[in-house]
Structure 1
Amino acid sequence: MKVLQINTTLSASAPGRIAEEIGQVLISKGHSSYFGYGRKVRESVSETIRIGSFIDQTVHGIKTRLLDRHGFGSRQATMRFISQVERISPDIIHLHNIHGYFLNIKVLFDFLRCSGKPVVWTLHDCWPFTGHCSHFDLVGCNKWKDQCFECPNKDSYPRSIWLDNSRQNYNEKKKLFSGLDNLVLVTPSVWLSDILKESFLAGYNVSVINNGIDLKTFQINNGLMHTQGFGVEEDDILILGVANIWGKHKGLDDFLQLSKTLEAKEKILLIGLSKKQRRHLPSNIIGLSRTENQKELAMLYSRANVFVNPTYVDNFPTTNLEALACGTPVVTYKTGGSPEALDEHTGRIVEKGSITELKAALRSVIEAGKDSFSSQCRKRAELLYNKYDRFGDYINLYKQIIEKK
């Protein structure tokens, strides 16, 4: 079986790592794995195909910023990619994030419609069924249910600083993405699966396959020595936050408010901050830049007494799973599919934006002690989020689709 996956980044960010590890499972079972990508961060075990150049992506970015036509640039780059896909002739084409300034969705979906190739599409966010944004719930907008227009989220990714073409984008996406007989949708969360029932993608079958993680990398370690270099002492209570890009949507402001209520031996460690953000932190927040070193990240999860994820927009964050695998309880907002990773033995769920509830939940976990959660956290990760099980679900889905042809 030959499987081609497509994602914005190669082996980086949660969707990129998920695609990479699906490729690893495919190869371990004797199948062939190919990976089409826009930007490369790390190497891949799959045979890789870059889609477009830096110049192609820059032009696409300009078109997005000025004309709000994200997904409709990179025409020639996508046509060149399609010619390579035809040469490979994969049995399954698996889409992940197809936004990110590297693909022309009309060229791609015209090809998919004509080729008859079976397509699996894992939706990691809401961009496929909106006229502009990747997450509508930050601004509480429900126009995507019927017709996007006058977008209230135009300044969010993929940002447009001039025109609002959300109505045209919505109508073209609806036409392109609807009515493919060979398309199966997958969502990592029940939340997004339910959302799709209210969108123009409601006609498709949807499978829920949770994200998986590497339980050999993310396991309970002794991270004490590792964090002492950051100014964290052995007896400090460490509150951890992790994000690829920090901002209001990931709860950075909430962490700043939380820091004002901490006791003397309590510290916050935030991973993924920019240099500018790190310059403006209070003394009890330690800021680190983003890391692709998974073993280092696992040690930080293990050292933390609690992982806090005050996210305002999310599907099914792998950070929650990584924390659980390292034996660390999670406190998160009731946002998207984020609460689905937890039960009463592994963390706390609070209303989005309620700093009062967030403080109370954090205090509850700290006072109970990490040891009262740790074994249950690890067991839940082993039971539900082992990458070999979850990504094996994709292999089984591929086989079912091929057998039905």
Structure 2
Amino acid sequence: MDKNFNIPSNAILLPKTTDQSLLAQYYSMADVFVICSKSENFPTTCVEAQCCGTPVVGFDTGGTKETSLISESDFVPYGDLEGLKGKIKEKLNSRYPDLANQAQNEYSSATMARRYMEEYDKNGRKERVLLIDVNCKNSSTGKIVYDLYKNIRADGREAAVCYGRGPKIIEENIYKFGIDAETYLHAGLSRITGYNGCFSYFSTLRLINFIENYKPDIIHIHELHAYFVNTKMLLSYIKEKDIPVIWTFHCEYMYTGKCGYAYECNGFMDKCGNCPAVKEYPKSLWLDQTAKMLQEKKDTLKDLNFSIVTPSKWLRDRVGMSFLKNVEMRVIHNGINTSIFRYVDANLLRQELGISNENKVILALAPNIMSERKGGEWIIKLSGLLKDENITFVLVGES
């Protein structure tokens, strides 16, 4: 994407923030939330917006439209800006007084946790649950994991979180096993060798030692990419101990050679190789090892005692096209902290941003929003189509 984009007079570009209370103000200030990502599984931003009472429109990519509690028809084909303009105008002329209540009932972290605990307990109640992810308390999956941790404990069970990256969290049974220096080394070796998920020996050993001592009844895995764990080493140990696993796929990484989002490529249905995204995350500078990595995933996941959860039907169907098509699967929507993401008074924020009281607000929010995948450039073009309207576009998430 051209980094020399011009911000039109009816648009405001703001930096990324991790302040969830501020995010709730952004959502509450908006009249419509728009998402133009190239691909998403089940974007949390759409859920957060609706919990604050703001309707969602956007491009129909991945499982994005499944987030809508109003209508999936509010999502148009990728790149159809005229269609998206029409959806925005339609939403600006409509009212949805019960949207926030509906969204908070459907998408609360408590609802999500209850559904997961039903999944854990299919063969008897599980009293000791271990959650594994790249993050804890931050990023979309890290917040999901932390909310699950709290809700599982509130149900009278033991819960622990093991995570690989981010700040150290001092709470009971929350353990950062990833060694930062080894994570950086893993990332560098991945770029040089073309392999990913096969380094981080000492970090993975720390994780295995925690599991050995904690003795979970079930392990709930989330994301294992991002250069912090040796996947084969971890899963070989879990298979040896025959610990049941629930695995939430938040992206496509575990059934492709390396891609989190395969887009229009269906190479994973066969054997990968000749990867069109070899230099994209998790990137390789030269070598394409995707065929070997896909075969290793097939070998490693063979005979693992696990079931798969996806947050969207779209991703479930994508998994069903892969070598994992015969694994038991269930859709459980992502949940959020509805004590934070609910309608709040955002008049002061509107004043601070200099937005006229006569103007409607269209919000787009994503980390690294001006990247090609997050689609900020589409929002800028969209603002140009509506430059003669009393509308202000607010884009949050510039790096």
SS at match of 2:135: strand
SS at match of 2:280: coil
* 1:12 and 2:121 correspond: no
Aligned positions of 1:333-372 closer than 5 A: none
SS at match of 2:219: strand
How far 1:215 moved relative to its partner? 2.1
Normalising by structure 1, report the TM-score: 0.65
Q: Which amino acid aligns with 1:270?
A: L
* 1:142 and 2:266 correspond: yes
Q: 1:165 aligns with which of 264, 272, 289?
A: 289
Q: 1:127 aligns with which of 253, 256, 265?
A: 253
* 1:215 and 2:341 correspond: no
Quote the Cα distance in structure 2 between the aligned partners of 1:223 and 1:80. 45
SS at match of 2:394: strand
Quote the Cα distance in structure 1 between the aligned partners of 2:336 and 2:207. 30
Deviations 1:32-90 (A, max 9, x none): 11111112348475511212311100110001111121111101220122012101101
Instruction: Name the counterpart of 2:62.
Output: none
Q: Residue 239 of structure 2 contacts residue 303 of structure 2 at CA under 8 Å; is this kept in 1?
A: no
Q: Residue 243 of structure 1 contacts residue 271 of structure 1 at CA under 8 Å; is this kept in 2?
A: yes
Moved over 3 A (4+): 41-46
Q: Name the % identity.
A: 31
Q: Residue 132 of structure 1 contacts residue 158 of structure 1 at CA under 8 Å; is this kept in 2?
A: yes
Q: 1:92 aligns with which of 203, 218, 223?
A: 218
Q: Residue 147 of structure 1 contacts residue 170 of structure 1 at CA under 8 Å; is this kept in 2?
A: yes
Instruction: Name the counterpart of 1:186.
Output: 309
Instruction: Name the counterpart of 2:27.
Output: none
SS at match of 1:241: strand
Quote the Cα distance in structure 2 between the aligned partners of 1:60 and 1:148. 22
Q: Residue 178 of structure 1 contacts residue 200 of structure 1 at CA under 8 Å; is this kept in 2?
A: no
Q: Check 1:148–1:93 CA distance in 2 against 1; reply closer, same or farther (3 A cut).
A: same
How far 1:266 moved relative to its partner? 1.4
Deviations 1:180-229 (A, max 9, x none): 2x201100111111111110111210011111122221112221211221
Aligned positions of 1:252-401 closer than 5 A: 252-262=376-386, 263-274=388-399
Quote the Cα distance in structure 2 between the aligned partners of 1:144 and 1:163. 18
Q: Which amino acid aligns with 2:317?
A: D
Q: 1:237 aligns with which of 360, 384, 394?
A: 360
How far 1:233 moved relative to its partner? 2.4
Q: Which amino acid aligns with 1:230?
A: L
Quote the Cα distance in structure 1 between the aligned partners of 2:170 and 2:250. 20
Instruction: Name the counterpart of 1:72.
Output: 198
* Consecutive unaligned residues in structure 2, runs of 5 or more: 1-126
Q: Residue 94 of structure 1 contacts residue 121 of structure 1 at CA under 8 Å; is this kept in 2?
A: yes
Quote the Cα distance in structure 1 between the aligned partners of 2:168 and 2:358. 36
| Structural RMSD (CA) | 1.5
